[in-house]
Structure 1
Amino acid sequence: MAGPTTAERGARQKPESGSLRPPRAARLFRLRMLIILFLVVMATGGSVWLLYGSSWLRLTRVSVSGTRVMTDAQVREAAGVRLGTPLISLDTDEIEARLRRELPRIDSVEVVRSWPHGIGLNVTERTPVLILASGGKFIEVDKGGVRYATIPQRPKSVPALELTVTRSASLSRFGTTRLVREAARVTRDLPADVARDLRTVKVRSYDAVSLELSGGRTVVWGSSERGRAKAATLAALMKTAPRARHFDVSVPTAPASSGS
């Protein structure tokens, strides 16, 4: 039998399409991949060391802004951050929660990293809109009705809150906390010129809120509901009856004024 022809032998020896790389090219490829992998590992390890292990990016400075009544030292102490801590490892959400928990006077706070060595504690303090007397001291109440601080003396610029609520269905249903919040809501709805003259907010029940203004003037407000309508009605009523001393806007569609 005749053997394979020259063409057939050539076809057997010809590499098939998609065959493996030549040995030298394969070695160069593997070497290149190992070098790239080594550089990636080194870069990752260097970054981790820089952020967590080195002394370059550690906390050395804590700055505070926004304080009015509190001191910067109080805020730093309540934040509870240790100098020398890697900046990247600080839990800013936890620091913010701790500050609000430790210092009720804080309304809001933002903790910001200041690379490479600091953090900023940007606080906003609550502002009192009412003062509630209690046991010879005074409790500050903010616009949300939050009773957040007790002080020894009453600031003259802040209106007083008088709760004359007896044990009743209203007190059982709403509770003191709700009634304080409703009183604060009334102060938010007052016209600016009336708010400047406000001296006392009296609360007897949920729907029996009255105001004492400068000059011996009084306002029957009712509940805190429909506050904007009551505010607009009161402003108009005071313009049409400037000498009146008593105003009733508990039903804003049927206001009344009296006295001179």
Structure 2
Amino acid sequence: MAGSTTAERGERQQESSGPPLRLRSRRARLRVIVVLGLVLVFLGFPTVWLFYGSAWLRAEHVSVSGTRVLTPAQVRSAADVPLGKPLISVDTDAIETRLRRTLPRIDSVDVVRSWPHGIGLKVVERTPVLIVQKGGKFVEVDDEGVRFATVSEAPKGVPALELTLSRSGSAAASLRRFGEARLVREAVGVARAVPAAVARDTRAVKVRSYDGISLELKDGRTVVWGSSEKGAAKARALTALMKASPGARHFDVSVPTAPASSGS
């Protein structure tokens, strides 16, 4: 009777020596995974407890920076930061939303966690470029045309916005086409383009229509500006015109390539 082959002897030896090598390898990998999982659990639990369960990293105070007209107390009150809660769970987006909704004077705010116990509120307030008189009060308008606050005293150095929008003729057509909000933004664009020296002397920006915007200076001089288009060119033309005709009372830069002055 022929003896067993080498292959058969190898199979019998493998059977007698235990599970196949591939199975043992899979079991070893599984043990490693289980051990690593247990290590992560034991390491992760203290970390989670530190951030959420301990008293070490909780919101205890709120700092405010960047305010000019608003007070830090007003900002803290509107922010309504949940003091005593884990710092990591404080909803910074919700705080920003509350601040912008409650205090329209705020243009932007950066809400940051200041570890280990603080929340920082970095505020940027809107700056008025025009004011609108309403009764005995004054409504502040920023450089985007947003009416953001009503104050009892007009801020110094800010021109008045006077809307004299006719309901008939070409001015009425302009109002229907662009709307009052757009015309206010046009006035803001003019106020931003006026040369600094002239801006300091500007008492009012008057709007009759889209291309019917003019300036009234504090000494009674007037400037016909037109629309807000080509603002830089109009500013250069006005500066040159005022130097060339220092005694003039009326200036027209609505067509900046052909400026004109009159009066004395």
TM-score (norm 2): 0.88
What is the identity percentage for the equivalent residue pairs of Structure 1 and Structure 2? 65
Structure 2 residue ranges without an equivalent (≥5): none
Query: Which residue of 1 is the match for residue 243 of structure 2?
Result: 239
1:164–1:10 CA distance, 2 compared to 1 (3 A): same
How much is the aligned-residue C-alpha RMSD, in angstroms? 2.4
Q: CA deviation at 1:185?
A: 0.9
Q: CA deviation at 1:236?
A: 1.4
| Count of residues in Structure 1 that have an aligned counterpart in Structure 2 | 257
1:33–1:214 CA distance, 2 compared to 1 (3 A): same
Structure 1 residue matching 2:112: 3-state secondary structure? strand
1:9–1:231 CA distance, 2 compared to 1 (3 A): closer
Provide, for residues 152-205 of structure 1, a one-character-per-residue CA deviation record: whole Å limited to 9, x for no partner: 122332111111112222222222222211111101111111112211111111
1:233–1:11 CA distance, 2 compared to 1 (3 A): same
The amino acid that maps onto 2:236 is A
Q: Is 1:209 matched with 2:213?
A: yes
- Kept in 1, the 8 Å contact 2:140–2:147? The answer is yes
Q: Is 1:132 matched with 2:113?
A: no
Provide, for residues 69-122 of structure 1, a one-character-per-residue CA deviation record: whole Å limited to 9, x for no partner: 111111111112210121111222222122111110001111111111111110
Residue correspondence of structure 1 range 58-97 to structure 2 within 5 A: 58-97=58-97
TM-score (norm 1): 0.89
Query: Which residue of 1 is the match for residue 109 of structure 2?
Result: 109
Structure 1 residue matching 2:165: 3-state secondary structure? coil
Q: Is 1:19 matched with 2:23?
A: no
Structure 2 residue matching 1:108: 3-state secondary structure? strand
Q: Distance in 2 between matches of 1:38 and 1:93?
A: 35
Residue correspondence of structure 1 range 191-210 to structure 2 within 5 A: 191-210=195-214
Which of 180, 183, 186 aligns to 1:182? It is 186
1:21–1:171 CA distance, 2 compared to 1 (3 A): closer
Q: Distance in 2 between matches of 1:219 and 1:27?
A: 89
Q: CA deviation at 1:148?
A: 0.6
The amino acid that maps onto 2:20 is S
Structure 2 residue matching 1:124: 3-state secondary structure? strand
The amino acid that maps onto 2:140 is E
Q: Distance in 2 between matches of 1:248 and 1:9?
A: 110
Q: CA deviation at 1:26?
A: 8.7
Q: Distance in 2 between matches of 1:157 and 1:176?
A: 24
Q: CA deviation at 1:22?
A: 10
Q: Distance in 2 between matches of 1:203 and 1:22?
A: 87
Query: Which residue of 2 is the match for residue 166 of structure 1?
Result: 166
Q: Distance in 2 between matches of 1:22 and 1:212?
A: 93
